[in-house]
A and B are shown apart, each in its own frame.
Chain A
């Protein structure tokens, strides 16, 4: 009797784990299917998409769709603009946040506490409040439709998170390193640039990933501040592309793939690091 109960339990266990795995795989399929579908229809002609082969692999691989999106649809230009804006945003964010974080953790000054609070304030302020005032500032300086119009706000809203990650990291570095460098006659700038900055690589990677995703995917500022095609980034550009080619799904799909590829590549090669960056960002905030 005892044996049969045990066997029954075993059967039950295999049964439940079977259900669990099927559910997990079904959910994985639901999460990944739209992306699979995107890749396939970006390579199909309209007649295939609309004519019975909506889901399968393309019968004839229409690479022309990509040419159309990149050249006629200007996705190539939008891609270039996104690289410039995102690249500059990451670079500036890292330099200015690293500098601020050093002062906020190591240096002694009267307003240290309120200054820390000031930097953290940005974590909770929604970008809504900045939208119109920054637009008016840019307009009065004739800077609407420029790279800087996006870079500045992106940097501003990336700084608080970057400072939080950097200050946490600097606090964990033993002070003795800097003290002995100081005895060797290093100035404060030398200590910062030669001792601290090189040690920050892991934190810099985390901040870069975080800032990259934010800037690369941002839409609200981009829609409002950029109307000139020359400066459109991918998010706004894709919107124009979709408006331009409403019925040519292949070309739109190709544009969407181009916009997604860099993110996917970063993710494929560093999935653990990307996940950790977003977890760290969330849990510290």
Chain B
């Protein structure tokens, strides 16, 4: 058998197609992007090599800095609003409420729907005249709060964050719920016998045992926020006046609208580095905690 499993030709046959695709679409482009990011290039003809100038320019580019800040706002809202709320839902549902399956199933529905559809839908919800939000505000006598949510600089970013939080709460809830369900029932039984309340059990038993899942959720929430594109693209295209611009939308615009291929590539590399950095940081955060 070992001989059969060492068949060189078979190994190459099995690995070849996926290896070629991965190399061509993922590995080679990283190298190409890094190279482009050192060029001043409009996409046609030959680019001019300018070293790290694109990167230096990035850090004095107001639009870019704004987009990084906005992406971070997405990340912070996910971590401090979405995750705690998801955790609360997961804790409540898993303690054995009636209609448990129903709640899990319903809370998860927005996750599977295309962000484009979600975006179009929320655009209608936010519509200044006929949107459900303003209709509701007027109906309860708060009509003076009704405004052009996506069209004004003060609210555009917040209005773009809300649908993202809304869409993925169910996702994090499901991860945490699955995690809680995989904790041995004996543990909870023992806590019950000791007379621990639900709050105490959650605080001292469930949440600590859930650490690996919380790490996954945190990683997804942060990295996902830094990469956010679809929803902002659909809702505002980063406007008005870049008020809701995130790095991904700015990158696409820089490359494909302004034809600044080199400069846009520097943004792409920035996103990659930013994501890797946060993967590393979150990994480290959870490791040192384990030792303590």
Chain A residues within 8 Å of B, Cβ to Cβ: 20-21, 24, 27-28, 30-32, 34-35, 37-38, 41, 49-50, 54-55, 95-97, 99-100, 102-104, 106-109, 115, 118-119, 121-122, 124-134, 136-137, 152-153, 155-157, 159-160, 163, 175, 178-179, 182, 187-189, 191-192, 213, 216-217, 219-220, 223-224, 234-235, 238-239, 242, 249, 252, 256, 259-260, 263-264, 266-267, 271, 274-275, 278-279, 282-283, 285
A239 to B272, CA, bound (A): 27
Write out the residue numbers on chain B whose beta carbons fall within 8 Å of the beta carbon of A178. Answer: 1
B233 adjacent to A219 (CB under 8 Å) = yes
User: Is B55 close to A, CB under 8 A?
Assistant: no
Query: What is the minimal beta-carbon distance from A168 to any residue of chain B, in angstroms?
Result: 16
Write out the residue numbers on chain A whose beta carbons fall within 8 Å of the beta carbon of B14. Answer: 99-100, 102-103, 107, 192
**Given contacts A31-B110, A49-B130, A238-B116, are A129 and B93 in contact (CB under 8 A)?**
no
B275 (CB) vs chain A CBs: closest residue: A126
Query: What is the minimal beta-carbon distance from B258 to any residue of chain A, in angstroms?
Result: 13
A31 adjacent to B132 (CB under 8 Å) = no
A93 to B25, CA, bound (A): 14
B166 adjacent to A96 (CB under 8 Å) = no
Query: What is the minimal beta-carbon distance from B263 to any residue of chain A, in angstroms?
Result: 11
Query: What is the minimal beta-carbon distance from B168 to any residue of chain A, in angstroms?
Result: 11
User: Is B18 close to A, CB under 8 A?
Assistant: yes
A118 to B20, CA, bound (A): 12
B6 (CB) vs chain A CBs: closest residue: A108
A106 to B1, CA, bound (A): 10
Interface size class of B (residues with CB under 8 A): 35 or more
Query: What is the minimal beta-carbon distance from B80 to any residue of chain A, in angstroms?
Result: 18
A27 to B220, CA, bound (A): 23
Write out the residue numbers on chain A whose beta carbons fall within 8 Å of the beta carbon of B268. Answer: 128-129, 131-132
Q: Which of B33, B112, B114, B122 meets A274, CB within 8 Å?
A: B112
Q: Which of B8, B109, B275 meets A31, CB within 8 Å?
A: B109
B112 adjacent to A263 (CB under 8 Å) = yes
Q: List, sorted by A's number, 5 A–B pairs whose CB atoms are closer than 8 Å.
A: A99-B13, A102-B14, A109-B6, A125-B272, A159-B18
User: Is B106 close to A, CB under 8 A?
Assistant: yes
Write out the residue numbers on chain B whose beta carbons fall within 8 Å of the beta carbon of A50. Answer: 129-130
**Given contacts A156-B26, A217-B115, are A107 and B89 in contact (CB under 8 A)?**
no
Query: What is the minimal beta-carbon distance from A62 to any residue of chain B, in angstroms?
Result: 16
B113 adjacent to A260 (CB under 8 Å) = yes
**Given contacts A55-B132, A157-B26, are A126 and B227 in contact (CB under 8 A)?**
yes
**Given contacts A34-B125, A131-B252, are A263 and B113 in contact (CB under 8 A)?**
yes
Query: What is the minimal beta-carbon distance from B170 to any residue of chain A, in angstroms?
Result: 7
Q: Which 5 A-B pairs have the closest CB atoms?
A: A156-B25, A133-B29, A103-B14, A133-B32, A217-B114
B114 adjacent to A216 (CB under 8 Å) = yes
User: Is B191 close to A, CB under 8 A?
Assistant: no
User: Is B142 close to A, CB under 8 A?
Assistant: no
**Binary CB contact string for chain B from 119 to 132 against chain A (1 if under 8 A, 0 otherwise):** 01111110001101
A220 adjacent to B230 (CB under 8 Å) = yes
A121 adjacent to B265 (CB under 8 Å) = no
User: Is B180 close to A, CB under 8 A?
Assistant: no
A217 to B230, CA, bound (A): 10
A217 to B36, CA, bound (A): 29
Query: What is the minimal beta-carbon distance from B219 to any residue of chain A, in angstroms?
Result: 9
A278 adjacent to B264 (CB under 8 Å) = no
User: Is B188 close to A, CB under 8 A?
Assistant: no
Query: What is the minimal beta-carbon distance from B48 to any residue of chain A, in angstroms?
Result: 17
Q: Which of A96, A125, A127, A249 meets B124, CB within 8 Å?
A: A249
Write out the residue numbers on chain A whose beta carbons fall within 8 Å of the beta carbon of B111. Answer: 278
A235 adjacent to B103 (CB under 8 Å) = no
A49 (CB) vs chain B CBs: closest residue: B130
A223 to B134, CA, bound (A): 31
A24 to B93, CA, bound (A): 9
A115 to B14, CA, bound (A): 13
Write out the residue numbers on chain B whose beta carbons fall within 8 Å of the beta carbon of A279. Answer: 174-175, 178
Q: Which of B10, B26, B43, B118 meets A188, CB within 8 Å?
A: B10
Write out the residue numbers on chain A whose beta carbons fall within 8 Å of the beta carbon of B21. Answer: 96, 152, 155-156, 159
User: Is B210 close to A, CB under 8 A?
Assistant: no
User: Is B52 close to A, CB under 8 A?
Assistant: no
Q: Which of A35, A124, A283 meets B279, CB within 8 Å?
A: A124
Q: Which of A95, A224, A275 meets B104, CB within 8 Å?
A: A275
B264 adjacent to A282 (CB under 8 Å) = no
- Supplied contacts A126-B223, A252-B124, A275-B108, 12 more A-B pairs, CB within 8 Å: A28-B106, A54-B135, A118-B22, A128-B272, A129-B269, A132-B36, A132-B268, A155-B25, A156-B21, A188-B10, A219-B233, A223-B233
B132 adjacent to A54 (CB under 8 Å) = yes
